[in-house]
């Protein structure tokens, strides 16, 4: 699975955003590449059951953030939680 982004928040034309105003759980069976924004105001969990997570943009949570992948996490940008 791949999440790609384009545009900008300032211009109100951003794409590739997965968000929740409360908690967010994203379960993926195989490899996952995030080139977009995954964000929640509450707790967030991103789980890859078989494969790796490749994050090139943003994973964030307003509370607790869990990121798990059977074969590891590759990160080149932002992973954050309060």
Domain spans in the chain, listed from the N-terminal domain onward: 2-72
DSSP for 12-47, please give it: T--BSEEEESS-EEEEESS-EEEESEEEESS-EEEE
* pLDDT tens readout for residues 37-50: 999 999 999 999 99
Q: What pLDDT is stored for residue 11 in this prediction?
A: 81
Any idea which of 6-15, 23-32, 68-77 has the lowest mean pLDDT? Answer: 6-15
- What pLDDT is recorded for position 36? 92
* pLDDT per position as a tens digit, 28-75: 999 999 999 999 999 999 999 999 999 999 999 999 999 999 999 999
Read off the pLDDT of each residue in 16-28 and give the average, rounded to a whole number.
Answer: 95
């Amino acid at each position: 699975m791949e999440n790609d982004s384009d545009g900008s928040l300032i211009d109100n034309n951003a794409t590739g955003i997965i968000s929740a105003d409360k908690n967010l759980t994203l379960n993926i069976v195989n490899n996952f590449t995030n080139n977009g924004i995954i964000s929640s105001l509450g707790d967030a969990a991103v789980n890859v059951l078989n494969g790796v997570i490749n994050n090139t943009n943003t994973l964030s949570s307003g509370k607790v953030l869990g990121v798990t992948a059977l074969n590891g996490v590759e990160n080149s940008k932002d992973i954050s939680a309060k």
